[in-house]
Amino acid sequence: MRVISGSEKGKKIKIPKEKNIRPTKEKVKEAIFSALQFEIEGKCFLDLFAGSGQIGIEAMSRGASEAIFVDNNPKSVGLIRKNLRSVDLFRKSSIFLSDATKFLKNTNLSFDLVFLDPPYAAKILTDCLNLLTKKMRDGGIVVCESAREAPSPEITKNFIPRKCYYYGETKIIIYDYIIK
């Protein structure tokens, strides 16, 4: 896997070798960042269920001011650290070994852009969106990745669906966050 664009373009990123971890495919990653290309610069990016950290690394390469990586797997957190060092973006990031919902309940941080890619069987996107309601900055964006056939998350009053994309077995929904 490689960084697609930006300051770290072409640099290699290692992906987990564990069978139960499903990295976002390059085609899907490229489509997500094409849709967000003018909305990344200077933003705080949260990569929840970070795995290898490839999505947050791509965001920083494209101009995000910082990225926060959260994963509950110690091996994934170690791999994120290695990947950040290999692309020289460690200083612009924070890494948390934590369950996603516990992190969202306990953090005082707020975010401009969030990428949610839980294990497809977990069915916790709605829970995460509800917890993010108090953690988002006005005008923020949340990208949810799920299995194509999975039901879409229940929409909270502050999240407005912008667009839904399908790539093979993957569904991507982009939400705009508006303070009402």
Distances (CA, A) of 52 to 14, 73, 92, 153, 167: 7, 10, 16, 24, 21
* pTM as predicted: 0.94
Average pLDDT over residues 65-86: 95
Q: Domain limits of the chain?
A: 26-177
CATH topology of domain 26-177: Rossmann fold (3.40.50)
Q: Are 49 and 119 in contact (CB under 8 A)?
A: yes
Among 94, 107, 88, 2, CA closest to 47: 94
Q: Are 82 and 8 in contact (CB under 8 A)?
A: no
- In the prediction, which pLDDT does 119 show? 84
pLDDT exceeds 90 at position 153: no
Average pLDDT over residues 85-110: 95
CA distance 160 to 179: 11
